[in-house]
């Protein structure tokens, strides 16, 4: 017999929550943020077919659902505290639920964030997580603090680069074909992004603005530029590429790195004289950092291409995939 709603919650989503005053099982969870801290709150929804493919392993889906939310806390420089999980399930499939909960809760444990509540209902597969984190007043990384002259930085996996998630999507769609090992490498980038929480914390007081790359580097940078009322030049030659992406044709490399989404790396700005501190923050967080350009007073986004020419990028980003 299929598990009932409350048995399902009890079996898969109820755990001890030592940092919360009250966790799963009552009408509300009760949280006690550290005195004087701001609460940082963000939600992200994942819809089957739009944000993930039905072929994804449940463990990886559980991981990704929380990872994309933790990435928002990272981009704010907030320390993870608690999250809620609202889940619509087409049927009670215990193989799916066990894998999903395992991937979700393993990542939660890695980041010391507690599942304190949620909602469970029947319906087309849909996962909505709300994360809460703490940040000292005045220290949150925001989108509106970038200044002309700041250096533009992007994080990347050590030994890797940006754009791999997009390359995987192109392979899934049959637009390109990749050798088996390469496919598995980029598929992992797409399905199991690593939220840069430690980097976000290390960038407090150092980055002037930050955002996580979910929709594509150019588009997400556009948010910083508009909110900060500045422009930027990106050096194509400085974009960090993984060995797999580096083996592709140059136009595809640029499309994936500049317009691909789903990287969940941090894109941020910092004063140029703080380069050594930025690099130290990356090292402490165990991630690669690359300076890919500079902010300037003149509005708009410009690409300094491989030939040394300047190419204007539209406000909506650099998206050869669109349309
Ligand atoms: P209510 O009807 O009062 O909203 P529910 O019956 O929906 O409460 O949920 C019972 C308890 O289980 C609540 O504490 C709720 O936060 C929690 N809960 C429901 N679904 C989930 C879930 N998917 N993950 C974690 N906690 C959940
Ligand atoms: Mg409810």
73 within some domain: yes
State pLDDT tens for residues 212-241: 999 999 999 999 999 999 999 999 999 999
> Mutation test of ligand 1: which of 24, 27, 86, 88 has the most ligand atoms closer than 8 Å to its C-beta?
24
State pLDDT tens for residues 85-106: 999 999 999 999 999 999 999 9
178 and 296, same structural domain? yes
Q: What is the mean pLDDT of the chain?
A: 94
197 and 111, same structural domain? no
146 within some domain: no
**Domain containing residue 50:** 5-135
Cα 214 versus chain centre, distance:
6
Domain with residue 69: its CATH number is 3.30.1330.10
302 and 269, same structural domain? yes
**pLDDT on residue 321:** 62
Identify the CA nearest to 152 among candidates 78, 230, 205, 77. Answer: 230
**Percent of the chain predicted with pLDDT > 90:** 89
Average of per-residue pLDDT across 290-314 = 93
Reading phi first (left if > 0) and then psi (alpha if -120 to 50, else beta), residue 293 is in: left
259 and 223, same structural domain? yes
- Ligand 1, atom 26, lies closest to the CA of 117
323 within some domain: no
Measured from the CB, is residue 25 less than 6 Å from ligand 1? Answer: yes
62 and 210, same structural domain? no
Contact 268, 227 (CB under 8 A): no
CA of 290 relative to ligand 2 center, distance in Å: 44
- CA–CA gap between residue 129 and residue 13 (Å, rounded): 13
261 and 192, same structural domain? yes
Measured from the CB, is residue 8 less than 6 Å from ligand 1? Answer: no
**pLDDT on residue 164:** 98
State pLDDT tens for residues 250-292: 999 999 999 998 999 999 999 999 999 999 999 999 999 999 9
CA of 64 relative to ligand 1 center, distance in Å: 21
159 and 64, same structural domain? no
**pLDDT on residue 313:** 85
Average of per-residue pLDDT across 287-306 = 96
Domain with residue 250: its CATH number is 3.90.650.10
Query: Which of 1-15, 19-33, 55-69 has the lowest average pLDDT?
Result: 1-15
State pLDDT tens for residues 23-56: 999 999 999 999 999 999 999 999 998 888 888 9
- pLDDT level of residue 323 (50, 70, 90 thresholds): very low
- Ligand 1, atom 8, lies closest to the CA of 27
83 and 217, same structural domain? no
Q: How many domains does the chain have?
A: 2
321 within some domain: no
77 within some domain: yes
299 and 221, same structural domain? yes
Q: pTM of the prediction?
A: 0.95
State pLDDT tens for residues 78-88: 999 999 999 99
Measured from the CB, is residue 126 less than 6 Å from ligand 1? Answer: no
Measured from the CB, is residue 118 less than 6 Å from ligand 1? Answer: yes
Residue 57 reports pLDDT greater than 80: yes
- CA–CA gap between residue 86 and residue 131 (Å, rounded): 12
**pLDDT on residue 53:** 84
- CA–CA gap between residue 131 and residue 308 (Å, rounded): 43
């Amino acid at each position: 017999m299929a598990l009932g709603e409350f048995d399902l919650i009890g079996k898969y989503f109820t755990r001890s929550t030592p940092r919360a005053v009250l966790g799963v099982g009552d009408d509300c969870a009760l949280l006690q943020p550290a005195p004087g801290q701001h609460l940082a709150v963000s939600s992200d929804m994942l819809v089957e077919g739009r944000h993930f493919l039905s072929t994804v392993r449940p463990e990886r889906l559980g991981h990704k659902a929380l990872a994309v939310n933790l990435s928002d806390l990272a981009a704010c420089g907030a320390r993870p505290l608690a999250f809620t999980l609202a889940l619509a399930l087409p049927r009670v499939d215990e193989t799916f639920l066990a894998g999903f909960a395992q991937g979700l809760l393993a990542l939660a444990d890695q980041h010391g964030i507690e599942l304190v509540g949620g909602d469970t209902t029947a319906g087309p597969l849909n996962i909505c997580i709300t994360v809460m984190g703490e940040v000292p007043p005045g220290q949150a990384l925001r989108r509106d603090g970038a200044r002309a002259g700041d250096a533009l930085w992007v994080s990347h996996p050590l030994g890797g680069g940006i754009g791999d998630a997009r390359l995987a999507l192109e392979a899934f769609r049959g637009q390109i074909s990749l050798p088996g090992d390469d496919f598995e490498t980029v598929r992992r980038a797409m399905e199991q992004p690593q939220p840069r929480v430690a980097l976000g914390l290390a960038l407090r007081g150092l980055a002037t603005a930050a955002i996580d790359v979910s929709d594509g580097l150019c588009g997400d940078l556009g948010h910083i530029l508009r909110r900060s009322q500045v422009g930027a030049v990106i050096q194509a030659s400085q974009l960090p590429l993984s060995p797999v992406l580096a083996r592709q044709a140059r136009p595809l490399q640029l499309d994936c790195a500049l317009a691909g989404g789903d990287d969940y790396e941090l894109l941020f700005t910092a004063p140029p004289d703080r380069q050594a501190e930025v690099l130290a923050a990356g090292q402490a967080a165990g991630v690669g950092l690359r300076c890919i350009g500079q902010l300037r007073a003149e509005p708009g986004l410009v690409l300094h291409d491989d030939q040394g020419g300047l190419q204007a990028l539209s406000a909506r980003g650099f998206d050869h995939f669109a349309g």
